[in-house]
Structure 1
Amino acid sequence: MPIFRLRYSSIWLGAAMLVGTSVATPAQFIVQRPTDPNQRQVVMVRQDASDCSGRDVPNVDSPSVGGTIWATRLFDGNTGVKVAMTAKPNTTYRISLKCVRPIGEVKTDDEGIANLSLVFPTNLVGAEYSFELAPEGAPAGSRYQSAQISFQ
């Protein structure tokens, strides 16, 4: 009787291993969806200054991250921008294309949350640029710099 149980146990173990490898193998071959070549996503970091291109702003999650910017090159010669941030409550932040000009404002609600969509002419910037968000008067520690957006 023990040999009989051992034989069936071995068969069940082998079947379980076969099913396990059959399921795991296709998971290794799932292809990543291609990203939109006309869209970039970067973080906004609480940082008082950066260079015009934003090269010196790390595009990684950290405690200094206060939001995200999505930039999309549109077919009509414009760039669409979506801003989502959590910052100081009830505060208006001026959004500027770094070293170019202001392009809009966003106001946080009583919980410090703000969302905004806006559009600017793509030819205002080159292939690499960044954004700055700053409240009026901008005391130290209240500015946000975006990481570099690059369409190269």
Structure 2
Amino acid sequence: MTTALDRLDAERAIRHTHFRFFLLTDAGRYDLLGQQCFTPDADIEYRIMPGPPQRFAGRDEFVDFMLPGRPPATARHRIIGPAAAHTSAPPDIDWSTGQPRLTGYATVWHWAATHTPAGQPRPADWTTIGLVDDTYRHHDGQWLIARRLITPAAGLVATGTAPGLGRPTPR
């Protein structure tokens, strides 16, 4: 960074990418997620789920995991099928290492289905709170995530039931 104004512009763009990740994920737009949020060689690791860490070498590997051989979710699928909703506390951006490092908390609600068979909205099956630790790099005119580590901030499951079939709902 050469000036304070350059740094402010970079931080605005970094926050935009941070929140764009949540918007695209919640909309099921994994096809856009890779190119708009991660560098091609991004190192991505999620330690938030039970079991071994999920590691991805590059954005294409991450997108392939999120979209295993199927097109992005349609609006109809999102209404009745699996869904997630993210919210984020205002993140911090630290420049002390020379590269911008964003840290902050994200809460994620997960639904196996958002509605009962009778069409009534149902509560989330489980909720997690994660610590986001992203290192950003300027790539092709955008500030993108070059390294991501997501770890639990409040246990693996903050409320609800563990991932699986979910709670029974009245019909």
The structure carrying a bigger helix percent of its residues is 2
Max Rg structure: 1
Higher RCO (C-alpha under 8 Å, 6+ residues apart): 1
TM-score (norm 2): 0.28
TM-score normalised over the length of structure 1: 0.30
